[in-house]
Amino acid sequence: MPNTNSDYLSKAKNWAENTAFDKNSRQEIIDLLEKNDEKEIEERFYKDLEFGTGGMRAVLGQGTNRLNKYNIRKAAHAVSLAVLESKPSEPKAAISYDSRHFSFEFAKEAASVFAANGIKALIYKRLNPVALVSFAIRHHNCSAGVMVTASHNPPEYNGFKVFWADGAQVTPPNDQNIISNFNGISDYGTIPYLEFDKGIENGLIEWIGEETENAYYNTILENSLGRDLCKKDGDHLKIVYTALHGTGLYPCTRALNDLGLTNLLTVKDQDQPDGSFPTVSSPNPENAEALAMAVELMNKEKADLALGTDPDTDRVGVAFNHEGETIYLNGNQIGLLMLHYILTQHKKKGSMPKNPYYVKTIVTTDLQAKVAQSFGVDVENTLTGFKWICGKMKQIEETQPERNFVFATEESFGYLNHNKVRDKDGVASIALLCEIALYNKVQGKNLAQALDDIYEEYGFANETLVSLNYYGKEGADKINRIMENFRQFSEKSICSQEIESLTDYKNSTNKSFINEEIKPIDFIKSNVLGFNFKNGNKLFLRPSGTEPKIKFYIMIQEAEGSLEEKKKKAHELASQIVSFVKEESEQA
């Protein structure tokens, strides 16, 4: 065994000897101790799992820094304590799960802990997207909810996503209460637990059935702004869809068929749920590689577009052919198309609600804001993540009920176009995106041409995302160094762009690079930096809250020249900044 007095070794020994864990769980750690695998032991025990922007997400395995049924129980108990502290008259929690390894088992573990705490657990009979757990919370007046998922992470991950009574992911103070509860649980053996079958038998655990699902699909149908067009001409749009082995097959095909978009093909080899995601390196529809089989089928069948969703069906990617090239839209472009279509249709129909507003994140393109303002729609900015977007919706709902929500989007391929769910909704987004594609097709246009129409009217914007992965404890330290180096950045320009100011959302300050003046800002605190350039361009960076990576968001606007000239200049500048941030990060 390793000859060290490190805290993580002590934790490993305790795990190996703790009878609160079953024999197999203990043996996994005993094997590591006997092999003297100090590096792996350190990775598993150097810290406890933490709640990030999306709850808890980690590599599967035994240990305090791994996702396993014991940490699921610990998390569910932490949520239970927070629920009970709020003193609901009939405490209930909704649960859904994706196709990942152990997702169903973990969902039942959470239900067993909720039930043991006297909280009725409502769990879907079949795996379902994240939008349906949010919908179920609101539909059944639950106090909280859980989605067992690691979204689009690689197969070795799973996660525990927590929602509150409004159907949105937890925000302050509830998230801090849950974190405090979680950190306060030191003895796994003290966590209340009721066997799942006994919970079903005594009514503390119930299955969520088709009534709830049907109500959700009716919401999508009722919210469509082009139902008549879809019923009349829906078969003119040929669609390819891939679920990427996740939860999306039934929900997305159901929603499209309900609308009348029936000319639909699916990628058969990716239809069925499979937590190994055998046909892709990562089930992330943001990446062209994940859509490869869908694009191949699109080309073979001469379809109009190919779409894909991630395992929990909250992110949507799209590809189509234009001028002999396969085009993959980024999240900002998809959101721009959706926003412009929604507002255009409301204006045509005279159905724009009074006092309309839409919500975006600070790292989502400002071109969307320009479009919204041209229609008289107010723009709300939040931190990255739909927990903050929906938190803003709740705040407005409670303090300014006369205002009406029309749309929300973030650059990471998440969208929401209705008010019955409080998280990004990939099912509704698939339906909306196909509706937009049909609307443009009957006018002789594809989505690229529709985008260019928007660019011609409002100006061109280019957004580039750089994600740098750094794994384990060393990686976390590296990310901290990168953030601090940029926080202390003193040069007056980046790639010949003069810096006007640096906004530090962690320290709630905005520092002028013109006169060195530092002013406070009134915004939610988060470890985010934003460089604001004199020409209107922006560079943001932040550590991911759910993955071992740091993200850089390069946002460029071009106002001069033809559209092609604007695109060329923007792409050249983006390439320069990409090289710059990579070099700076490498040296940290």
Task: Quote the DSSP letter at residue 284.
Answer: -
Instruction: Name residues whose C-beta falls within 8 Å of residue 163's C-beta, 6 or more positions apart in sequence.
Output: 94, 133, 134, 137, 144, 145, 146, 147, 169, 170, 422, 423
Angstrom distance (rounded) from CA 294 to CA 305: 9
- Cβ(122)–Cβ(90) under 8 Å? no
CA distance readout (Å), 49 to 10, 101, 111, 130: 17, 18, 20, 22
Look at the alpha carbons of 131, 136, 137, 139 in this order and tell me if their dihedral is positive or negative.
positive
> Cis before residue 173, ω within 30 degrees of 0?
yes
Alpha carbons 335 and 347: distance in angstroms, whole number: 18
Cite the active site residues.
Answer: 151
Which residues are CB-contacts of 364 (< 8 A; sequence separation ≥ 6)?
331, 332, 335, 409, 410, 411
How many Å apart are CA 417 and CA 428, to the nearest integer?
A: 7
d(CA 54, CA 66) in angstroms, rounded, equals 16
Gap between the Cα atoms of 572 and 569, Å rounded: 5
46: nearest Cα among 64, 61, 28, 26: 64
Token match 């407005």: residue? 396
C-alpha distances in angstroms, 535 versus 48, 58, 557, 560, 577? 44, 40, 8, 12, 15
